[in-house]
Structure 1
Amino acid sequence: MKNNSMKKFITACAAVIAFIGVNHPTAEAIINYQVVKGDTLWDLSQQYDVTVESIQAENDLSGDLILIDEILQIPEPPIGVLPLSASMLGEDPTVEPKEEVVEEEPAEPAISLSDEEKDLFARLVEAEAKGESYEGKVAVATVVLNRVESPEFPDTVTDVIHEVVGTAYAFSPVQNGSINKPASDESKQAVEEALTRKDRLEDCIFFYNPEIATDTWIRSREIVTTIGNHVFAK
């Protein structure tokens, strides 16, 4: 009975010494390392920055065989606190953790349009902003959508484009027929971007070219920005 108790005591002391040896360098610069499943001499040499031969010499090993729970003395450890074995932590130190990638959902269109409405819309943008930058085309399309959402104008893109003010159409391309010309790919793309727009141009509902505009009333509107040849206003 006494012998069994002594064996248990010695085993417990060995485990404590092994744990302390892994995490704290001794005065003699020797680490007492308890072998765990998966350890190899090469792994330990890389972990502690020593050679396989030095570990073999320190432990009187003639080959690469080491046993689980065996206590190995590792010579010449780095200065400071040593990391626990990666195999003890169940981790592969050569594999960096992957960052979680959050996929952004595609923006929903502000309103739903049929292909025919998109074509009409793009033809208006082409006629009104031909020669303007892509940004300018998106801005013109944004004004049309702002009108759809404004209580001062009709409720659909088609009705906004065909709105009659007094005795004439609100948009001159509808009046002079230039809206019937095909839209460029850039104007089509501008319409698509405007439909998912985040920049509403501060809810502008008017635009005009100050070089050719003859209506004095339109010039009285609050100007928000100027893009190319067009002034955008509320």
Structure 2
Amino acid sequence: MLKKVGMVGIAAFCALAFSFPTQSFAHGDTHTVQEGDSLYMIAKEYGVSAKQVQDINDKSNAEIQAGEELQLPDGASEYEKDLLARLIEAEAEGESYEGKVAVATVVLNRVESDRFPDTIHNVIHDGYQFSPVLNGSINQPASEESKRAVNEAFAYQGYDQGSLFFYNPDKADSSYLESQEVTTIIGNHVFLR
């Protein structure tokens, strides 16, 4: 009986441990710096934060040398990157590439904020936050541009203006959002913190 209870407990733990997507930034792969590389280019290629690459390699600035071996943080899972790209496609369709990067950055900033859930999946599925989740348009495939915007947003993470919200004032009316500090306006979207 005790053995059966223990096995059920282990099975339940494993089911929970593997059913929720997570975002981890422990040490991951390494990258050998090539001539012409920059921290930002490397971060964008791997879909990780340039600031985190700098931090885990104990660099006081962004200077790197050809032949140098850099530790890379683990990035988001492929599931999370795809989910974020599909959200960008649905939320920022018709917006500029810069606008798509900014929308992705809002999601990543929310993951880092104490005010929101701490995974990409949970931020995107947090109640009524994003209309594509509610209307199902998030289930459509992402364009290559939206996928590139995800990696760009990861690389840019930590260098932006800390936007936590965005909206299109021609399509939505919110006294709460209107009371927040505007960080930038890109295309039809107003970004705020």
When residues 154 and 199 of structure 1 are mapped into structure 2, their CA distance, relative to the original with a 3 A threshold, is closer
Counterpart check, 1:215 vs 2:174 = yes
> Aligned partners of 1:145 and 1:118: how far apart in 2?
11
Q: What do you get for the CA RMSD once the two structures are aligned?
A: 1.7
Out of 179, 183, 188, which is 1:224 matched to? 183
CA contact (8 A) 1:126 1:183 kept: yes
Task: Give 1 or 2: higher helix fraction.
Answer: 2
> Aligned partners of 1:136 and 1:121: how far apart in 2?
14
- Structure 2 unaligned runs (5+)? 1-34, 50-73
Residue type of the alignment partner of 1:126: E
Equivalent in the alignment of 2:71: none
Counterpart check, 1:204 vs 2:167 = no
Indicate the percent of aligned positions where both proteins have the same amino acid: 58
Counterpart check, 1:131 vs 2:94 = yes
Residue type of the alignment partner of 2:155: T
CA contact (8 A) 1:221 1:233 kept: yes
CA contact (8 A) 2:169 2:190 kept: yes
CA contact (8 A) 2:108 2:157 kept: no
Residue type of the alignment partner of 1:225: T
Equivalent in the alignment of 2:130: 171
Equivalent in the alignment of 1:188: 147
Residue type of the alignment partner of 2:164: I
**What TM-score, normalized by structure 1, do the two folds share?**
0.52
When residues 191 and 116 of structure 1 are mapped into structure 2, their CA distance, relative to the original with a 3 A threshold, is same
When residues 219 and 115 of structure 1 are mapped into structure 2, their CA distance, relative to the original with a 3 A threshold, is same
Q: How does 1:41-190 map to 2 (within 5 A)?
A: 103-105=37-39, 106-107=42-43, 109-110=48-49, 112-164=75-127, 169-190=128-149
- Give the total of aligned pairs: 130
Structure 2 SS opposite 1:154: coil
- Structure 1 unaligned runs (5+)? 1-100
Cα displacement string for residues 42-100 of structure 1 (whole angstroms, at most 9, x for unaligned residues): xxxxxxxxxxxxxxxxxxxxxxxxxxxxxxxxxxxxxxxxxxxxxxxxxxxxxxxxxxx
- Structure number with greater Rg is 1
> Aligned partners of 1:158 and 1:214: how far apart in 2?
26
> Aligned partners of 1:113 and 1:209: how far apart in 2?
28
Q: After the TM superposition, which segments of 4 or more aligned residues of structure 1 sit over 6 Å from their partners?
A: none
**What TM-score, normalized by structure 2, do the two folds share?**
0.63
Residue type of the alignment partner of 1:142: T
Structure 1 SS opposite 2:85: helix
